[in-house]
Structure formats: structure tokens, C-alpha cells
Structure 1
Amino acid sequence: MGKTKKLIELDDKAIAILEVQAKLQKRSLKNYLEFMIEDRALHFAEPSEEYKAMMDDMLERQKNGTLETIPYSEIRKKYGF
């Protein structure tokens, strides 16, 4: 997959906020912006075929009554929440 350069303009307040967030994640501002934009773009992408197959399998097991689940209260007990 190729890369494309784009020029963006943000106000100074937004840049200051983003710089703080980038430092908290030990990233450069450029790297942080690229990461955030690519991560957000993936939210709009169609799920992979593997994910669709996994979800179809889980839905089928739920329909057949063979899907094993753990109640949230048990997870809280196990991990001390």
C-alpha cells in the first residue's frame, strides 16, 4: 500500500493539545497524527473476511446453544474489579 502526503491546517490550540497527547504516548506529533488518522480510518473499513467468518461462527453457536459465555460478574470477581 502506497503513501500519500497531504498538507493540513489546524489551529494553534488544537496543535498544543495534540502535542501533549503525543508526548504522553512517547510519539512525535507527526507520528501521533498519522497513527490517529489511520486508526480512525480503519473504523470506517469493512471487517476482514476472517472476522466475518469468526462472527458468523459465534452467531451460529449462539443460535444452536453451544456458545459458552462467562457472566460479567464472574469476570469482575476473577480480575478483582
Structure 2
Amino acid sequence: MGKTKKLIELDDKAIAILEKQAKLQKRSLKNYIEYTLEDQALRFSEPSEEYKKMMDDMIERDEKGLLKTHTWAEVLKQYGRKL
């Protein structure tokens, strides 16, 4: 995949907030902004064919009563954890 450079303008307050977040993640401001934008773009993207197939299978199993589900409390109990 190629890369494209874009010039963006942000107000000083936004930059200050983003710099603090970048430091918390031990990233440079540039890297943090790029990472955040790419992550957000992926959230807007179409799910993969594999994911769609898996979800269709889950829906079909649920409709047929074959899907086994567990409550959060059951999962925690299985791993010796408490709420």
C-alpha cells in the first residue's frame, strides 16, 4: 500500500492534548496522529470476507439453537476470577 503526504492544521489546544496522549503511549506526536488516523480508518472499512463468513455461521448456528454461549460470570468462574 502506498503512502500519501497531507498537510493538516490543528489548533494549539488540540496539539497539546494529542502530545500528552502521544507521551502516554511513548510515541512521537507524528507517529501518534498517524496511528490514530489509520486505526480510525480501519474501523470504517468493510469487514473481511472471512469475518463475514464466520458471523454468518454464528448467526446460522444461533438460529438452529446450536450456538453455545456462556455468561460473563461463568467465564470468570472458569478462570478462578470474581466480578
- Superposed, 1:1-16 pairs within 5 Å as 1-16=1-16
Determine the C-alpha separation between the residues in 2 that align with 1:18 and 1:75. 37
Could you tell me the TM-score, scaled by structure 1's length?
0.92
Residue 72, structure 1, aligned to residue 77, structure 2: no
Determine the C-alpha separation between the residues in 2 that align with 1:76 and 1:12. 45
- Superposed, 1:35-46 pairs within 5 Å as 35-46=35-46
Deviation of the 1:22 alpha carbon: 0.4
Deviation of the 1:41 alpha carbon: 0.7
Could you tell me the TM-score, scaled by structure 2's length?
0.90
SS, match of residue 20 in structure 2: helix
Deviation of the 1:43 alpha carbon: 1.3
Corresponding letter in the other structure for 1:52: K
What is the aligned partner in structure 2 of residue 50 from structure 1?
50
Determine the C-alpha separation between the residues in 1 that align with 2:73 and 2:82. 10
| Unmatched segments (≥5 aa) in structure 1 | none
What is the aligned partner in structure 2 of residue 32 from structure 1?
32
Q: Number of residue pairs matched?
A: 81
What is the aligned partner in structure 2 of residue 18 from structure 1?
18
